[in-house]
Structure 1
Amino acid sequence: MDATLEQGRNHPLDVGRFLLLDARYENVQIVGQVRDAAVLIAMGLRDDGKRAMLGVSVTVGEHAAH
């Protein structure tokens, strides 16, 4: 599985001129407590008009840097 993940991390970006960044907040349960978690999403718009998922990251709390 590590080889598959590494291949996904290092593939060339087939992205046109647009980069879309978005975040949504979800409630997650961590050690019996419900907390807010930010789901950060990076997408690009390819030249053929289709979206390409570039990355997703989940963080709990506002102090994390990505």
Structure 2
Amino acid sequence: MVVLVLSLVVLLVLGGCACVYWTARGDAPRWARVVSGVTLLGSEAARSLPRGSSSGRNGSDD
């Protein structure tokens, strides 16, 4: 079940990236521009999420 969900997520991400590329070329239909916008918004949201502290992950005090 987990593999199915992860496969769907990967397919959605790849489809979104394809729409971004298609839109950047300039000859995309309206629905592809909408998908591209949603993909770019999701990308910005993921980038703005706070990252966890790396000090507890590997145990080193650099």
Does TM, scored on the shorter chain, surpass 0.5?
no
Bigger CA radius of gyration:
2
Greater share of strand: 1
Greater share of helix: 2
